[in-house]
A = this chain, B = another copy of it.
Amino acid sequence: MIRTGVVGATGYAGAELVRILAGHPEVFLTVLTSRRYAGVPFEKVYPAMSGMIDLVCEAYDESRICEKADVIFLALPHKLPMGFVPGLLKQGKKVIDLSADFRFSDLGVYESLYQPHTAKDLCARAVYGLCEVFPERIKGSDLIANPGCYPTSVLLPLFPLVKHRLIDPDTIIADSKSGVSGAGRSLSLTTHFCEADESFKAYKVGGHRHKPEMEEKLSLAAGKPVKITFVPHLLPMTRGMETTIYADLAREVKEADIEACFREFYAGRRFIRLTDQHRPPDTLHVRGTNLCDIGFVVEKDKGRIILMSVIDNLVKGAAGQAVQNMNIMLGFDEAAGLEFIPYAV
């Protein structure tokens, strides 16, 4: 049985990893770290899981972690992982990093958005862990850069269509809406209950750091540089992300071509569901699961497509996809530990 550890286990993505790994049939959870809660039993930090997780949070200690775990998940703020990854890889561990540190091929873009990179040589080794798009590359990897939540919700509906040139990549506009848990557990006025409840608003308009991440991967699909318009918004709910995407169809492309493209590209992928044309995807239908529901409508008169996707930002947008990456890396069923059936309500 594989042993797994979570570094940064007490943020929301970390805690979601704990929830999923604790119920995973093929792995053990053996070590949890937390700067803030070192020495505190995990179940005291998250009493929801009381009686179910008997690990105590520890300070980060490379040799101890390497001794205890075979696969290590890093659920840390950006910049920290690039300091930890080299050592972990040197000891032969498999690493899945949920931060942005290893997501970019173009280090210049990374450094302009985040900070100077201190493990540049490893960037080429890292595989961008968008599971349904790069499964083969993930299979052979020992360092996964787990995609951001917004990029996941934008790329899953767009990648197949851009790759197969069914839409014009220069016309893409993505209007995303995220539940508050996407902002994490750190306190701020924006995530204070009274300021988020019964409120809806855009934020970081035109300037969110997930946009260049999307653009790099879409450029890869298009085989040429792609720039998009992306606006994130904050929803008055905890979990869930919806993205509505607008793009011009390539010449002569019909509804049936779109559907066929999706069906082929995602054939056999259990976490992608195409929704009925008359029932747009609903965040509630994927809550707590690793699913991504995708729907679309073609506006014939304008030659435009409207794509809609929904995910749970903490699962498919973070911890769930990370575990799916592990499953693929280790040759497990990709759905192992992730077969959550959505609630009716």
Residues of A at the B interface (CB closer than 8 Å) are 12, 15-16, 18-19, 22-23, 46-52, 173, 175, 177, 180-181, 185, 187-189, 191-203, 205-206, 227, 229, 231, 233, 235-240, 242, 244, 246, 270, 273, 275-276, 279-288, 295, 297, 299, 301-302, 304, 306, 308, 310, 339, 341-345
Docked-complex contact A229 and B299, CB < 8 angstroms? yes
Taking each of A46, A193, A197, which has the highest tally of chain B beta carbons within 10 Å of its own beta carbon? A193
- Other-chain contact of A180, B177, B194, B275, B282 (Cβ < 8 Å): B194
B residues less than 8 Å from A177 (CB atoms): 177, 200, 233
B residues less than 8 Å from A297 (CB atoms): 205-206
User: Which residue on B lies nearest to A205, using beta carbons?
Assistant: B297
How far apart are A284's CB and chain B's nearest CB, in angstroms? 4
How far apart are A336's CB and chain B's nearest CB, in angstroms? 14
Docked-complex contact A181 and B194, CB < 8 angstroms? yes
- Given the known interface contacts A181-B345, A192-B193, A193-B192, the answer about A198 and B280 at a Cβ–Cβ threshold of 8 Å is no
A contact face: mostly helix, strand, loop, or mixed: mixed
In the assembled complex, the Cα of A196 lies from the Cα of B206 at a distance in Å of: 29
Docked-complex contact A344 and B16, CB < 8 angstroms? yes
Docked-complex contact B193 and A191, CB < 8 angstroms? yes
- Given the known interface contacts A49-B344, A302-B229, the answer about A240 and B192 at a Cβ–Cβ threshold of 8 Å is no
Docked-complex contact A233 and B242, CB < 8 angstroms? yes
7 nearest A-B pairs in the assembled complex, by CB-CB distance = A15-B344, A199-B284, A48-B285, A187-B187, A201-B282, A194-B345, A48-B342
17 inter-chain pairs at a CB distance below 8 angstroms, sorted by A residue, are A15-B345, A19-B342, A48-B286, A181-B194, A185-B194, A193-B196, A193-B238, A198-B237, A200-B242, A200-B283, A201-B284, A202-B280, A202-B295, A205-B308, A206-B299, A229-B246, A288-B343
Docked-complex contact B238 and A235, CB < 8 angstroms? no
- Given the known interface contacts A193-B180, A236-B236, the answer about A16 and B343 at a Cβ–Cβ threshold of 8 Å is yes
- Other-chain contact of A192, B187, B242, B301 (Cβ < 8 Å): B187
B residues less than 8 Å from A48 (CB atoms): 282, 284-286, 342-344
- Other-chain contact of A240, B52, B195, B199 (Cβ < 8 Å): B199
- Other-chain contact of A237, B200, B233, B282 (Cβ < 8 Å): B200
In the assembled complex, the Cα of A85 lies from the Cα of B290 at a distance in Å of: 39
In the assembled complex, the Cα of A198 lies from the Cα of B345 at a distance in Å of: 9
B residues less than 8 Å from A299 (CB atoms): 206, 229
In the assembled complex, the Cα of A273 lies from the Cα of B48 at a distance in Å of: 10
How far apart are A17's CB and chain B's nearest CB, in angstroms? 10
In the assembled complex, the Cα of A50 lies from the Cα of B288 at a distance in Å of: 15
Docked-complex contact B194 and A238, CB < 8 angstroms? yes
B residues less than 8 Å from A15 (CB atoms): 344-345
B residues less than 8 Å from A244 (CB atoms): 175, 202, 231, 233
In the assembled complex, the Cα of A19 lies from the Cα of B283 at a distance in Å of: 17
Docked-complex contact B175 and A197, CB < 8 angstroms? no
Docked-complex contact A345 and B205, CB < 8 angstroms? no
- Given the known interface contacts A189-B187, A341-B49, A345-B181, the answer about A306 and B205 at a Cβ–Cβ threshold of 8 Å is yes
How far apart are A41's CB and chain B's nearest CB, in angstroms? 11
4 other A-B residue contacts (CB within 8 Å) besides A193-B238, A195-B345, A197-B197: A51-B273, A52-B341, A194-B238, A200-B242
